[in-house]
Homo-oligomer: A and B are copies of this chain.
Amino acid sequence: MLYQVFEKLDRLFGFAQAKAHCDIPCGIYDPHQAQIAALTVIRMVDLANDLVKGSTKESLEFHNSLTRYIQVKEEHAEICKREVRVIFGDFIKKEHVEKYPELPSLMHHIMQLGSKARQTAGRETALELLGAVNRFAEIFWEIKGIKTKKVKAPYKPEEEIVYPLL
């Protein structure tokens, strides 16, 4: 079913058969920055939650820190979406989607989670986002014929990330 959809898409606009097309940089795609961005979102959620549970409400320092955590969460949720969008738009081709039919919905899911991670401040959404980005990274490296493994990130938050065995 999905094959037919994408075959149809292909005829419509020449779904890139062979050429790598990009808005530049050409050819340099790596999901790493998207993963770091997702980790940053989790980190900001954690810092914000710790702050709110503390006792210095209404102080200027409380507001100064909270505003900054929210601001950085905004930026990095957006960076996460953008990085995945660029790889999906420029690197992923028809034959990839045929091999991994979950790609379009995974992409869309990441976009939605990224938006939700901006609009809310719960850890669950942020973790879901990282999970989806990790799956995207896994597929990405498989396409490039590179094996991956799951490792604990070497920085806070020490959540699991998919890591290519270069």
Contacts and interface: CB of A to CB of B under 8 A. Distances in A.
Interface in A1-22: 1-2, 4-5, 8-9, 12-13, 16, 21-22
A163 B164 CA distance: 10
A61 B69 CA distance: 13
Interface in A104-127: 104-105, 108-109, 111-113, 115-116, 118-121
A69 B26 CA distance: 10
A32 B83 CA distance: 14
A90 B61 contact: no
Interface size class of A (residues with CB under 8 A): 35 or more
A99 interface: no
A28 B60 contact: no
A24 B151 contact: no
A28 B43 contact: yes
A45 B48 CA distance: 21
